[in-house]
Structure 1
Amino acid sequence: MCQHRDDNAAPTFTWTLSTTNVNGTVVRFHDPGGAVGLVLLFDGGGGGSVWFTFMEDRLILESLVAAGYAVAALPSAATSGNYDLTDVAGNQDLLNVDQTIADLGFTGGAVYYVGFSSGGAFASLATTHTPARAMALLNARGRASTFTSAAPPPTLWVVGRHDQRVPPDDPGLIANWAAISASGVDWEYHVNEPAGMLPEAFERIADPTSGVSPADSADAVAQLAAGGQLDACDVPVGRGSAIDWTVVTPGPSFTAPFLTEAKRQVDELFGAHTVTSDFREQIVDFFDAHP
């Protein structure tokens, strides 16, 4: 039986981000006022802007904000963009976590972490120095030492069925589940299964002033199917960087940035190593359960 992603709606962009400087690092954030907690976001080398501009990331943030959370994306202090995973108190990225929490007024309050890829490894490290009430690891196994510690944080995992870096049968991932389960701490596990592309699939791609039109989305999906880039259930036959995009003649609403996002949308529907917003309500519920 074919499965499709029925919710293809774009982010609403009804609120904008703010920025602050933390020890020379630009932190992007949004605080709806009277927040029930602060969610710190860590991306694997992509910087802080991705959480507010990539479609799947933004949809997660909008669900968190709608539930009353403040959100803040903290990139690495390193010029490489990669977080320092050294487990020492003088780690600048770890110091910036504490400073961001303080600067945004959440010292002693409810703090949560969301980390993608190597950002998930850093979230796992950070919570051993500055404990989070709960964390969500997206396409990340987390650090073994975090889950074998005396008090691992409540953790929700999301991985892709075709994640080439942390697949569902990753031994380290399975070992971390076993450790947290044995500790008695709450945890959840979700798999982003492949899903077929509906004609409106690319309508999710938007920015505050424009978006992919219904006609251009439907045409692109039809061309991918006719060009053999979708299977019998309209699931992409590979990752966005691997399929043949020459079969698509982009319509006028497919701007250059939107074409780049289209590849990420294919990754999401293929279940590859990318952020998916399909479990955003589960993330909200998990954080709500650990106030």
Structure 2
Amino acid sequence: MTPADPPTAGHRVRRVLRRPARLSGSGLLALLLCVLSVAVAMPAGAAPVTVTARDGFSRIVSGGWGTADQGGAWTVLTPSRFAATGGMGTIALTTDGRTQQAHLPQTGTSNDVTITLAASRTPTGGGLFVSVSGRRIADVGQYQAKVRWLADGTVAVSLVRLDTRWAETVLVREATVPGVRGVTGQQVKVRVQVTGTSPTAVRAKVWQATAAEPAAWTAGATDNTARWQVTGGVGLHAYLSRSSVPLTVRVDDVAASLTSDGTVAPPPPPPPPLPRGRRDPARSSRRRR
């Protein structure tokens, strides 16, 4: 009788019943751990984690900005150019062509930062540039709103992706912000949002500090350049044109929220338990040696 032949009356069919393998106590525990690890791995990611940063600079510090009211210590490029006094942070700029930098330690993939800025005097020549970073990635670069104070008192903004070689990729070209003035001491508010990855959405709004925040965003763009699709921090850069008179940038009312999605890779499940009476091949091979 071939395997395909049905049984006939002249043939006796022998049924072989196999008893299911029993698991030892340790085997049951390993199986339970395996099930639990799969259950833990089921969610797509952990709950988002949001941290906040705030600074009203209500302290007196020279040679830096010290520690923010909330969010950790500021890191600055040239400490002697930075100070906190009179309820504001200051950055002294000359025409040496150096960009002064300050940033906070927290990071996230969806960041929202608002800051109040002013110049101690109206710049001349090519003007004053203050870039507010919504995602700063160490050794890579940042997404930023680049705000420019011009010699005629107007204020303009552009959106830029900057790398560590100071090469800029313009996401939104510079445009004057209607109704906003940046002459001596006039405060300007800047809000920057950098959210998501692949692509990242970047947008900014600029308005006079004495007015209500506008509902509409001044500029917006998306970008999916690979190395920028990760978590990053917030901060600012300040640069003064070599053709301008020296001045001081005044910074106040820094408020930021940084959210990371919290996604983590689940741990691999433990190997399935061996049936009772079966030996671990790895152990057997070690014994044979």
TM-score per shorter chain, which class? Answer: under 0.3
TM-score with structure 1 setting the length: 0.23
Decide which structure has the larger Cα Rg and report it: 2
TM-score with structure 2 setting the length: 0.23
Hey, which of these two has a bigger chunk of strand by percent?
Answer: 2
Hey, which of these two has a bigger chunk of helix by percent?
Answer: 1
